[in-house]
Structure 1
Amino acid sequence: MMSTTHHYAVFETARGFCAMAWAGNGIAGFRLPGEAAEETRGAMRRRLPSAIEAEPSVWIGQVIERVRTYFVGDEADFSDLVLDLSGQTDLYRRIYDATRRLGWGKATTYGALAGELDLGPAGAWTIGQAMAKNPIPLILPCHRVLAAGGKLGGFSAPGGTVSKQRMLELEGLPSVEASPAQQSFDF
């Protein structure tokens, strides 16, 4: 089996430093904004240890501009982008495909998404696991998937649920409450 070479770039947005990784077959990784470029770079290296930092191609440069547009609060659509999900299971690819259909300012719940995909009794948990392992957050909009009752649920990106709430607010969605457990652990 031939190995794919991944490249990545770190770039600044209105909300902090992001990183995007790509290979010949699409976008393979994304890091939501962090406070420092070096922290963001380190996170991308941990996710894709063999990736090489590089200047973005024209195509990746255009995607970076969409990300910058998003983080100033202007509508941005990522649903047309080619993604490299080769390291994901078929089930996770189905979940991520369904998640991509959630456009700007739209949200659903883990349970509703599980029902749409006919995943059975443990479906909401499975959706939560897929969201937690999302290699391309924002572009695969896991922030738009909420817990039961419209609660925030978890968010494993920098800033935790505070970041998730801010992203939802950027899209014009009303404030969502964190559950008491999330508040007490400062997720």
Structure 2
Amino acid sequence: MWTVVDSPVGELRLVEHEGDLTAIEFSPFAEPDAPGSGPARGPRDDEHPVLVRAREQLAAYFAGDLTEFDLPLAPRGTPWQQSVWEQLRAIGYGETSSYGQVAARLGRTNAASRAVGLANGRNPIPIVIPCHRVVGADGTLTGYAGGLERKQVLLRLEQRGLF
């Protein structure tokens, strides 16, 4: 099941499978069941309970009223990707971490920064799993699957929410 919501970073498609949020996709979207568009998404359902909760929590996040999501998540990925995504969830609202710092928290050397970046780029549930909070070693904004402009909007939104 899936639905589409408006947000300050454009339309987002929220995808649910077996009661868990499995994806948040930035527009423009691939056709829901087109080859290469990821797992089958099934029909649109604007009233599915998980999608309603996700929509409500995203609205609260974008309003600056929510700093931590409480949703059932089931991102699909390799064990390495899963470990990186778990570390992303530990980066607090309004904070940033470098790729090297994420690698170090995983017990890897700074050389694993590139592997962290690749896993970060494959995060299927951006915003909720906050891959936008990972920046370059010097604090610069680097790569974001949704585009650097969206990353900047999300980071600014969180900075405003701290004051």
Q: TM-score per shorter chain, which class?
A: 0.7 to 0.9
Instruction: Tell me: higher relative CO, structure 1 or 2? Use CA pairs within 8 A at least 6 residues apart.
Output: 2
Tell me if the contact between 2:9 and 2:150 (Cα under 8 Å) persists in the aligned partners: no
- 1:149 alignment counterpart: 138
Question: Unaligned 5+ residue runs, structure 1?
Answer: 1-6, 174-187
* Separation (CA, whole Å) in 2 of partners of 1:148 and 1:62: 35
Query: Which of residues 12, 15, 23 in structure 2 aligns to 1:18?
Result: 12
Q: Is 1:8 matched up with 2:2?
A: yes
Cα distance, 1:137–1:13 mapped onto 2, change above 3 Å: same
Tell me if the contact between 2:23 and 2:125 (Cα under 8 Å) persists in the aligned partners: yes
Query: Which of residues 17, 23, 41 in structure 2 aligns to 1:51?
Result: 41
Tell me if the contact between 1:14 and 1:72 (Cα under 8 Å) persists in the aligned partners: no
* Separation (CA, whole Å) in 1 of partners of 2:67 and 2:127: 10
Query: Which of residues 149, 152, 170 in structure 1 aligns to 2:157?
Result: 170
Which aligned pairs between 1:68-147 and structure 2 lie closer than 5 A?
68-78=59-69, 80-85=70-75, 87-147=76-136
* Separation (CA, whole Å) in 2 of partners of 1:144 and 1:43: 28
The Cα shift of 1:54 comes to 2.0
Report % sequence identity. 27
The Cα shift of 1:55 comes to 2.7
The Cα shift of 1:121 comes to 4.6
Instruction: Specify the SS of the correspondent of 2:23.
Output: strand
The Cα shift of 1:44 comes to 5.2
Question: Unaligned 5+ residue runs, structure 2?
Answer: none
Tell me if the contact between 1:15 and 1:71 (Cα under 8 Å) persists in the aligned partners: no
TM-superposition CA deviations, 1:112-163 (whole Å, max 9, x none): 1101111235311011001111111011100001111111111121xx1111
Which of the two has higher C-alpha Rg? Answer: 1
* Separation (CA, whole Å) in 1 of partners of 2:13 and 2:68: 18
- 1:180 alignment counterpart: none
The Cα shift of 1:72 comes to 3.1
Q: Is 1:27 matched up with 2:21?
A: yes
* Separation (CA, whole Å) in 1 of partners of 2:50 and 2:114: 35
Root-mean-square deviation (Å): 2.0
Give the structure-1-normalised TM-score. 0.75
Tell me if the contact between 1:25 and 1:84 (Cα under 8 Å) persists in the aligned partners: no
- 1:179 alignment counterpart: none
